[in-house]
A and B are shown apart, each in its own frame.
Chain A
Amino acid sequence: MTGTSGDIPDLVCARCDKPLEMRKVEASYLGQTFPVELPCCPSCGFVYVSEELASGRMLKVEQALEDK
């Protein structure tokens, strides 16, 4: 992976060497599914979750679900 530029990720799949594209994916946790758009590799389907997302929104969602 390389860095990002602005809001549009300028990311390349390390395995396939292809630029990632924003695609609809489903994030699931503890039985709840969230349709979101995240950078994906068009070749192998790898989904990129930034550190900011993992330790921000996504963590809050996980904690809220664990708390239920």
Chain B
Amino acid sequence: MIRLEKRPQPSKAMSWATPLLAVVATMIFGGVLFAALGKDPIQSILTIFWEPLFGEFSFFYRPQLLIKGAPLVLIAIGLALGFKAGIWNIGAEGQYIVGAICGAAAGLAFYPIESVLIFPLMVLSGALGGCLWALIPGFLKVKFGTNEILVSLMLVYVAEQLLASMSLGLLKNPEGFGFPGSRNLQQYPSAHNAELIAGTGMHWGVVAALIAVIFAYIMLTRHKLGFAIRVTGEAPRAAKFGGVNPARLILFCLGASGLLAGLAGMFEVAGPAGQISIDFNVGYGFTAIIVAFLGRLNPLGIVAAGLLMALTYIGGDIAQSQLGLPAAAIQVFQGMLLFFLLALDVLTNYRVRFGTGEVAT
């Protein structure tokens, strides 16, 4: 009989070491996987982790790390606020899409007028769009007690249909020969979220992510609201007695995470992606859930986790083309990361007992 017994006081050091251990374990078992596929394991791991950072073309990959990591961090920060309070917004992908649609629509409405006011307006509408989309499950939960996990997730599929409809209808490029997809915002200077310093990958989305990290950090450690979030997550009844209004907290957490996801979508569509298209969303909203947990729901941890995930994506693509590793092997590799993290988490919080008699089943 194997059973898990809760540790009275999980080691603080261990809970910080688990993400690192998970990365190491992933490297080891990933290496075994790559070896089984007939590839040199050391070289594969080096290609994924070393090549983008210090390889021959790192001048190109390092900025890419920011481009890929910024939306992950921005979304994960918002999710972490809710997760800490036990409010599960699984639908960040949908809020990301709606933010992008609203942001792009606000910009395209003024095409081809050039004005410095257009971009800030796009930022506002992107944030508002994502926020309102996330408030739908929030409102339903507060008013009717629905489950926010299901509602927010279902709204992702609604958002995807909306995206397809926008690409084919309202936002379709009138000069696009009938093909789906909006005008390319990269070719509309007032709406383009260009690199702030050329060649660095630093665009407004990266700046926004950094600001969000600082705000979230201060709020969680210094502000009453952050305290309310933490208490609600750890002891909901105590929070209630302590005067926390659960309805307002739910709306705040969902609204804030939706706002940040919407911002991420808006910065993406105005910058790296350039246009609203049917396949605009690539799963940042879901990957950000992994990033949030990998970063221990801690703003600084999330920055590290976001960059790490970005690294595995970029390195994974390099490994595919240079070493011929299949995409599925890279996905398994990324999956391992979450698996080992969760497994090590269990071992940090519980101890395994190989009991013999006393437990009846």
Chains A and B come from one and the same complex: no
B residues adjacent to A (C-beta < 8 A): none
